[in-house]
């Protein structure tokens, strides 16, 4: 039996088996006001063609622009869309964690705000989860130059047993697995998905990798924060810091639901 968050009260409502949500799509974003239209349209077009029920959850990580407002304006055209906003920026990893905490589907896919992503991969991720995988990561190679190459090399050295390429903008999980990972993850920044795949494998989960594809444009850059986060992942495992859930497990403190009225300026 599944649940859905009541649009007005924010409380979980039990669903019948017939109406159970199959898929939650979480979109963590920061300073993505101009991307909300094309990204949400692409997700919505794919989901409308599917026979099962779904929901879309946008989590704005305290953007200084109108990202949350731009997303919330789409609530009339995107079925079961909810928009949440962190009161202050904590990182895309924290936004992904918030989205998973309020998700209600059987499966959850965490999707970057990237209009170049092919939503057909949602179907492949769903198929992988249906076939028994606990987590499915689409990976990709980018032709973004030396910075991308250096990032991939460093990531493989820091977490050497994991994916053959860095994750792309689509990662799918069985909901129970995703909530467990969200409760134990410690990385708030952009390398959160490398932490999650490492955690999943350390817990004995069946992790499937979709074949890599080439994406045009820049990929992950070798930034000082990313290097620190990769080192933290390695150190956290060495210090056994992932054994216990986070102290704020399940908390939605400093997070607000953005209502349709806010988007309309009323």
Q: Which residues pair with 167 in a beta bridge?
A: 139
Closest CA to 59 of 99, 25, 90: 99
**Residue 225, CA atoms < 13 Å, CB-side half-sphere:** 11
pLDDT in tens, the chain (266 residues): 444 444 444 444 444 455 689 999 999 999 999 999 999 999 999 999 998 899 999 999 999 999 999 999 999 999 999 999 999 999 999 999 999 999 999 999 999 999 988 888 999 999 999 999 999 998 876 555 545 566 666 666 666 555 566 667 899 999 999 999 999 999 999 889 989 998 998 999 999 988 756 554 555 555 677 788 888 888 898 889 998 888 776 678 788 888 654 444 43
If DSSP codes are grouped into helix, strand and coil, which group holds residue 208? Answer: strand
In which region does residue 132 sit, left (phi positive, over 0), alpha (psi from -120 to 50) or beta (all else)? left
Residue with tokens 């997303």: 71
- Output DSSP code: residue 75: G
* Cα 248 to chain centroid, rounded: 19
How many whole angstroms separate alpha carbon 10 and alpha carbon 13?
Answer: 9
Cβ(134)–Cβ(200) below 8 Å = yes
Cβ(229)–Cβ(187) below 8 Å = yes
Non-local (6+) Cβ contacts of 167 within 8 A are 137, 138, 139, 193, 194, 197
Instruction: Kindly state the tokens that stand for 169.
Output: 């903008």
Q: Provide the Cα torsion 258, 119, 226, 200; round to 10°.
A: 100
Instruction: Kindly state the tokens that stand for 116.
Output: 């170049």
Which CATH architecture group holds 16-242?
Alpha-Beta Complex (3.90)
For 34, list phi and psi in degrees, rounded to 5.
-75, -10
Cβ(230)–Cβ(191) below 8 Å = yes
């Amino acid at each position: 039996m599944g649940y859905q968050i009541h649009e007005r009260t924010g409380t979980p409502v039990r669903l019948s088996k017939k109406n159970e949500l199959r898929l939650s799509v979480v979109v963590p974003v920061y300073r993505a006001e101009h991307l909300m239209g094309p990204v949400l349209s692409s997700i919505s077009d794919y989901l409308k063609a599917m026979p099962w029920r779904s929901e879309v959850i946008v989590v704005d990580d305290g953007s200084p622009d109108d990202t949350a407002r731009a997303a919330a304006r789409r609530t009339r055209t995107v079925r079961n869309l909810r928009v949440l906003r962190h009161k202050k920026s904590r990182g895309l990893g924290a936004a992904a964690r918030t989205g998973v905490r309020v998700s209600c589907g059987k499966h959850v896919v965490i999707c970057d705000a990237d209009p170049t992503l092919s939503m057909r991969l949602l179907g492949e991720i769903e198929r992988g989860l249906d076939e028994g995988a606990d987590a499915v990561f689409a990976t990709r190679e980018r032709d973004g130059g030396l910075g991308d190459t250096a990032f991939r090399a460093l990531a493989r050295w820091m977490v050497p047993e994991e994916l053959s390429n860095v994750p792309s903008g689509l990662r799918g999980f069985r909901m129970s697995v995703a909530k467990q990972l969200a409760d134990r993850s410690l990385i708030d920044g952009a390398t959160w998905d490398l932490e999650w795949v490492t955690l999943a494998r350390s817990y004995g989960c069946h992790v499937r990798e979709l074949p890599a594809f080439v994406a045009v444009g820049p990929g992950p850059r070798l930034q000082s924060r990313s290097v620190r986060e990769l080192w933290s992942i390695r150190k956290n495992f060495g210090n056994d810091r992932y054994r216990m859930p986070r102290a704020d497990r399940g908390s939605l403190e400093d997070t607000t639901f953005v209502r349709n009225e806010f988007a309309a300026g009323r």
